[in-house]
C-alpha cells in the first residue's frame, strides 16, 4: 500500500511552506505593514489619546503631535527626579552602615546635595510643562482657524462647480457674496493666528530657555560644593592593622551645605534682558537645603561627638522622608496630568 504522502498530485505547484490564502486575507486587515522592505512589524499604541490625534484638524495635527511628545519628555525628567531622590536616600543609608565616621558623614552630605539635584529636575519638568501649556494656546487657535479655511474653500469650490454647469446662474451672485464674507472671516482668523503664534512661540521658548539656564547653572553650583565635600575625605592608603584618624571636618562639611544653600538662594539670571519672564523665578519655588541648615554654627575642627552623630541620623531621616514625599507627590500628579 503506497504511503499517504505519495497520494499528492505530482504536478502540485503549492509550496508546502506557503500560508493558506485564507490567512493571507486576514493579513491585509491587520495593523502590521506589508510593504516591501519592511522586515518587522510596526508598533502601534492604541489609546483614546492616539484616536484623538487622528481626528485633529489638518492645521493643528503637527503641533498636537509635538505637544504629546513633549509630555513624554517631561515625564522623563520627573522620573529622573524621583530616581535621584531614591539614590540620595540609599547613599545615606549605605554610608551609615559602613561604621566609618568619615564615610558616614560625607555620604550623608552628598545625599543631601543629590536630593537638591532631584528637586532641580522636578522643578525643571514643572517649568517645561508651563512652556508646553503656552504652546497649547497656539494649537487651540489653529483648531479654531481650520473651520474658516474649510468654509472659504467650500464656497469657492461651489462657485467653480456652478460656473462649469450654469455660467449664467443667478446663484453665482449669492455664492460670491458668501465667498466675500467667508474670506473676510478667514482673514481675521488668519491674522489672529499669526499674532498668537508669534507671541506665544516666543514666550514658550523664552520660558524654557530661562528654566534651562537656571537648571544648568544651579547644577554647577551644587556640583562644585560636592567637590568641596569630597576634598574632606582622606583616601590615602593605610597599612593592614592601621586606621585613619578620626574625622575632624564635620563642622566644615556642614558649612559647605550652608554655603551651597546661600549660593543657590543668591543665584540670579545674567544677561537675559527682556526675555526673562518676571514670574518664572524658580528661586521662589526652590528652598535649597533649608531643612538641613544647622541652628548653630559648630567649630570647623571639632571632633565628631554624640551630637554630630545625632545630626547625621536626622539628615539621613530627612533625605529618606524627602524621597518618599517626592515620590508620592509625583505619582499623584501623574494621575491628575492632562493630555
Q: Which CATH class is domain 56-233+243-336?
A: mainly alpha
Contact 86, 140 (CB under 8 A): no
Per-residue pLDDT reduced to its tens digit, 175-221: 788 888 888 888 998 899 999 999 999 999 999 999 999 999 999 99
Question: Residue 11 is inside which H or E element, if any?
Answer: none
Q: Which among 76, 81, 103 is positioned nearest to 92, based on CA atoms?
A: 103
- Indicate the average pLDDT of the chain: 74
| pLDDT at res. 5 | 46
Per-residue pLDDT reduced to its tens digit, 265-286: 999 887 565 555 555 444 444 3
250-266 vs 101-165: helix crossing angle, rounded to 10: 20
- For cell 519655588, the residue is 285
H helices, E strands: number in the chain: 7, 0
| pLDDT at res. 206 | 92
Distance CA 105, CA 229 (A): 10
Per-residue pLDDT reduced to its tens digit, 15-72: 555 555 444 444 444 333 454 445 544 454 545 555 555 567 787 889 899 999 999 9
Question: Residue 316 is inside which H or E element, if any?
Answer: helix 306-336
Q: What values do phi and psi take at 99, rounded to 5?
A: 60, 20
Per-residue pLDDT reduced to its tens digit, 132-168: 999 999 999 988 888 888 888 888 888 888 788 887 7
Cell of 301: 575642627
Q: Which among 140, 136, 230, 147 is positioned nearest to 186, based on CA atoms?
A: 147
Cell of 245: 584618624
Distance CA 295, CA 309 (A): 16
Three-state SS string across 139-202, please?
A: HHHHHHHHHHHHHHHHHHHHHHHHHHHCCCCCHHHHHHHHHHHHHHHHHHHHHHHHHHHHHHHH
**pTM here?**
0.64
Distance CA 317, CA 207 (A): 35
Amino acid at each position: 500500500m503506497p504511503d499517504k504522502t505519495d497520494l499528492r498530485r505530482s504536478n502540485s505547484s503549492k509550496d508546502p511552506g506557503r500560508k493558506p490564502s485564507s490567512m493571507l486575507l486576514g493579513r491585509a486587515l491587520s495593523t502590521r505593514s506589508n510593504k516591501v522592505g519592511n522586515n518587522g512589524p510596526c508598533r502601534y499604541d492604541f489609546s483614546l489619546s492616539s484616536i484623538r490625534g487622528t481626528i485633529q484638524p489638518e492645521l493643528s495635527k503637527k503641533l498636537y503631535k509635538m505637544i504629546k511628545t513633549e509630555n513624554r519628555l517631561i515625564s522623563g525628567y520627573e522620573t529622573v527626579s524621583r530616581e535621584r531622590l531614591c539614590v540620595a536616600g540609599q547613599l545615606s543609608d549605605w554610608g551609615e552602615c559602613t561604621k566609618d565616621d568619615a564615610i558616614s558623614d560625607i555620604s550623608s552630605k552628598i545625599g543631601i546635595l543629590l536630593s537638591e539635584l532631584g528637586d532641580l529636575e522636578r522643578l525643571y519638568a514643572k517649568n517645561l510643562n508651563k512652556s508646553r501649556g503656552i504652546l497649547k494656546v497656539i494649537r487651540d487657535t489653529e483648531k479654531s482657524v481650520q473651520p474658516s479655511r474649510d468654509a472659504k474653500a467650500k464656497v469657492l469650490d461651489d462657485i467653480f462647480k456652478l460656473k462649469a454647469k450654469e455660467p449664467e446662474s443667478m446663484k453665482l451672485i449669492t455664492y460670491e457674496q458668501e465667498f466675500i464674507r467667508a474670506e473676510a472671516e478667514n482673514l481675521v482668523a488668519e491674522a489672529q493666528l499669526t499674532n498668537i503664534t508669534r507671541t506665544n512661540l516666543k514666550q514658550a521658548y523664552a520660558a524654557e530657555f530661562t528654566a534651562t539656564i537656571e537648571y544648568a547653572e544651579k547644577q554647577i553650583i551644587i556640583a562644585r560644593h560636592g567637590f568641596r565635600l569630597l576634598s574632606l575625605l582622606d583616601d590615602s592608603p593605610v597599612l593592614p592593622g592601621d586606621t585613619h584618624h578620626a574625622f575632624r571636618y564635620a563642622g566644615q562639611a556642614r558649612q559647605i551645605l550652608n554655603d551651597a544653600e546661600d549660593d543657590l538662594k543668591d543665584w540670579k539670571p545674567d544677561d537675559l534682558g527682556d526675555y526673562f519672564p518676571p514670574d518664572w523665578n524658580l528661586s521662589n519655588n526652590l528652598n535649597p537645603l533649608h531643612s538641613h541648615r544647622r541652628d548653630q554654627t559648630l567649630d570647623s575642627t571639632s571632633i565628631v561627638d554624640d551630637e554630630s552623630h545625632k545630626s547625621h541620623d536626622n539628615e539621613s531621616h530627612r533625605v529618606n522622608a524627602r524621597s518618599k514625599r517626592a515620590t508620592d507627590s509625583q505619582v499623584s500628579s501623574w494621575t491628575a496630568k492632562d493630555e
